[in-house]
Amino acid sequence: MESHPRLTLGGLLDEPLMDGARIVSDGTDTQAPVTWALPLTEVMNRYDDLSATVVYARPESLSAKTAGMSSLAARGASAIIVDGSLPDAVTRDLIPADLVVVELSFPIGFGALNRLLAERTLTQEVHVMRYATHVHQSLAGLLHRGAGMSMLLREVAALSHSPAVVLDPRGEVVAHHGIDKPLLEAVVVPLRDRLSEHGDVRGAQEASTLGVVTPEGERSCTIAPIRLGKHFEGWVMILHGCDRPGVHDLAQHEVVVSQATAIIGSEILRQRSVEEAEERARGDFVQALIHGSFGSEYKMRARAEYNDIDLDATFAVFATRTSAVRADATEPHADRRLLRLARYAASVLPHRDVRSYVTVLGDVLVVVRTVRADTATEIEAEVRRYAEAMANDLTVRGHSSSAVAFGAAAAGAARIRESYREARVALDIADRMHMSGAIAYRELRSFGVLEQIAESERSRQFTADVIGPVRGTELHAILLAYLEQGGNVNAAARELNMHRNTLLSKLNRLSRACNCDVREPENQFTLWLALRLDLLDRLGTSLAREMSYR
């Protein structure tokens, strides 16, 4: 947005130094902004923009360069000020229609004109700086005393004598003061559309004045983006009355919102740090619940009361990984992004009687959610409905390959540990099998049966005998792909991006390594069983290590 002109051509002509000056051209726009004065001899040798600039010309210089007036008009000069009477050689038909030419009643010299503009500009700048300092001190004092968002916005409204609103990056209202709800909705809805349609407004660094069309007519507002470093956090807006304010009021509003963005941005950071600290404390408690790591029931109930968690409720545990988690888990601030993603997941299918608690364990997002249903069938349906909604929400956010796994519902907090274990086993199996969407532990029945024997010594000896020679080698990946494609050589070759003859050669090597023909159905079942037992054994070892961590 262009700043409001602090000095116009009309204001310049009202100065005592310009007494007796008159406009001698057809162009009479005295509202053009004036910031600089440059001599004609200098600007004619350059081709830069002349916006908010008056060109000083001595009569004899203008007579010699009448052809250059069209160039001055095209470059946006506010006016030509002739230091004396307009020369006879410069007639009205030679002056461009949109160029203002002013002749002075007596010569004043370029130095006096330039000094006048400098003094006026500096005076206005000092006035703006003093007002900005006053606004900043008022808001910073409230922030220092911990007044909160509502008091800060109340002060913004008092300084501007107008309603004030804070919007988040999506255009949703965070706080407001001095405006009733019907008018707020009537203004915010079209404003949100305007902000989403005009990327230049969101990318602006300074305050701007926008017009929005409401059912009650057109309204205008002054709005400025809240930027904290490289991050965009929303807007601060001052809503004008039905009548558009004057130039001075608009300039004041721009100063107020510009100063308010820094202070309100600091308050947003403070609130976020408090929320994140509370979230971490609650997340630590949720981790203790799913790991069953409380020293006594008294400690568990004391912390549950502090975190407002009903330990006797029915809970469901959901676990997921996303493509963003896998890619960004080692990057700075990755934990914040994961926690934010988990918070989004917890907000799916909101209900006033349902509470959701989130935590992040490494690269796994965990949601512990209370269940309203009473019967087993209704509980299962409610849990699956949420898992499907959570998977769909992740897909909308760009994580289409995510699986949301869940175990059996836990009747009471003491059984959350087992429900989490089932969800984690189901999640790791789903990742290995390239499954997505809602995945229930009970649906993986074959794995559930094998899990009971996977960690026995006899099972480990069996897997070592069958697939031990190829474990950790290229042949192991080929065996997995071959069995996943049901023994179809062509499909496995496509999956591995390998020529069919090359795959046949490697299958022969695989048969020799495993000491059995991998193309025989009976041997394929044996290999499939060994791979599943090996997978479950590794999952069980990993989970046991995690669950025993304190």
Question: Do 47 and 154 fall into the same domain?
Answer: no
Please report the pLDDT score of residue 264 as a whole number.
92
Contact by Cβ (8 Å): 148, 122: no
Question: Do 299 and 264 fall into the same domain?
Answer: no
Strands 208-214 and 217-228 come out as antiparallel
3-class SS of residue 477: helix
CA 21 to the chain's CA centroid: 55
Does residue 3 lie within any of the structural domains?
no
Does residue 252 lie within any of the structural domains?
yes
Does residue 285 lie within any of the structural domains?
no
Please report the pLDDT score of residue 2 as a whole number.
41
Does residue 296 lie within any of the structural domains?
yes
CA distance 232 to 258: 14
Domain final residue pick, 407, 424, 443? 443
List the structure tokens of 349.
């299918």
Question: Do 436 and 480 fall into the same domain?
Answer: no
Question: Do 69 and 110 fall into the same domain?
Answer: yes
Where residue 220 sits, what CATH number does that domain have? 3.30.450.40
Contact by Cβ (8 Å): 20, 81: no
CA distance 312 to 410: 10
CA distance 37 to 30: 16
Q: How far is CA 82 from CA 23, 88, 90, 245, 524, in A?
A: 10, 13, 11, 35, 99
CA distance 58 to 418: 93
Domain final residue pick, 104, 121, 138? 121
Please report the pLDDT score of residue 165 as a whole number.
92
CA distance 40 to 54: 9
Please report the pLDDT score of residue 547 as a whole number.
57
Does residue 305 lie within any of the structural domains?
yes
List the structure tokens of 413.
């907090």
| E strands, 138-215, in order | 164-167, 173-177, 208-214
Contact by Cβ (8 Å): 52, 35: yes
Contact by Cβ (8 Å): 55, 80: yes
3-class SS of residue 63: helix
Q: How confident is the prediction along the chain (550 residues), in pLDDT tens digits per residue? A: 344 456 788 888 888 888 888 898 888 888 888 888 899 888 888 788 888 889 999 988 888 888 888 888 888 888 989 998 888 888 888 888 888 999 998 889 999 998 988 888 888 788 888 988 999 999 999 988 888 899 999 999 999 989 999 998 888 888 999 888 888 888 888 888 777 765 545 555 678 888 877 777 788 888 999 988 878 888 899 988 777 777 778 888 889 999 999 999 999 888 888 877 776 777 777 777 777 767 677 777 777 777 677 888 899 999 888 654 444 444 445 566 676 777 777 778 888 888 888 888 777 888 888 998 889 889 999 999 988 888 888 877 776 667 888 988 988 888 888 888 888 888 887 877 777 888 888 877 666 556 666 667 777 787 787 788 887 788 888 888 887 788 888 888 888 888 888 888 888 888 888 888 888 888 888 887 887 777 777 776 766 666 555 4
Does residue 279 lie within any of the structural domains?
no
Question: Do 472 and 503 fall into the same domain?
Answer: yes
CA distance 42 to 55: 9
Query: H helices of 223-296, where?
Result: 247-291
Please report the pLDDT score of residue 137 as a whole number.
92
Question: Do 331 and 364 fall into the same domain?
Answer: yes
Question: Do 425 and 484 fall into the same domain?
Answer: no
Domain final residue pick, 410, 443, 476? 443
Give the list of residues 6+ apart from residue 523 with CB closer than 8 angstroms, or none: 514, 516, 517
Does residue 396 lie within any of the structural domains?
yes
Contact by Cβ (8 Å): 13, 34: no
- Burial call 162-182: b when 16+ CB within 10 Å, e when fewer: bbbbbbeeebebbbbbbbeee
Contact by Cβ (8 Å): 212, 191: yes
Question: Do 161 and 265 fall into the same domain?
Answer: yes
Where residue 502 sits, what CATH number does that domain have? 1.10.10.2840
pTM score: 0.54
Where residue 18 sits, what CATH number does that domain have? 3.40.1390.20
Where residue 427 sits, what CATH number does that domain have? 3.30.70
Question: Do 427 and 539 fall into the same domain?
Answer: no
Contact by Cβ (8 Å): 394, 345: yes
Question: Do 16 and 110 fall into the same domain?
Answer: yes
* Burial classification of residue 398, based on how many CB atoms lie within 10 Å of its CB (0-12 exposed, 13-18 middle, 19 or more buried): exposed
Question: Do 421 and 299 fall into the same domain?
Answer: yes
List the structure tokens of 416.
């959350």
CA distance 280 to 286: 10
> Nearest to residue 156, comparing CAs of 169, 144, 142?
142
Does residue 4 lie within any of the structural domains?
no
Q: What is the residue-wise DSSP string for 101-131?
A: EEE-SS---HHHHHHHHHHHHHHHHHHHHHH
- Number of separate domains in the chain: 4
Question: Do 439 and 475 fall into the same domain?
Answer: no
Give the list of residues 6+ apart from residue 218 with CB closer than 8 angstroms, or none: 211, 212
> 10 Å Cβ neighbour count for 259?
25
**Domain region containing 473:** 451-547
Please report the pLDDT score of residue 325 as a whole number.
46
Q: What is the residue-wise DSSP string for 364-414?
A: EEEEEEE----SHHHHHHHHHHHHHHHHHHHHHTT-TT-EEEE-PPEESGG
What φ, ψ does residue 444 adopt, rounded to 5°?
A: -95, 60
CA 371 to the chain's CA centroid: 31
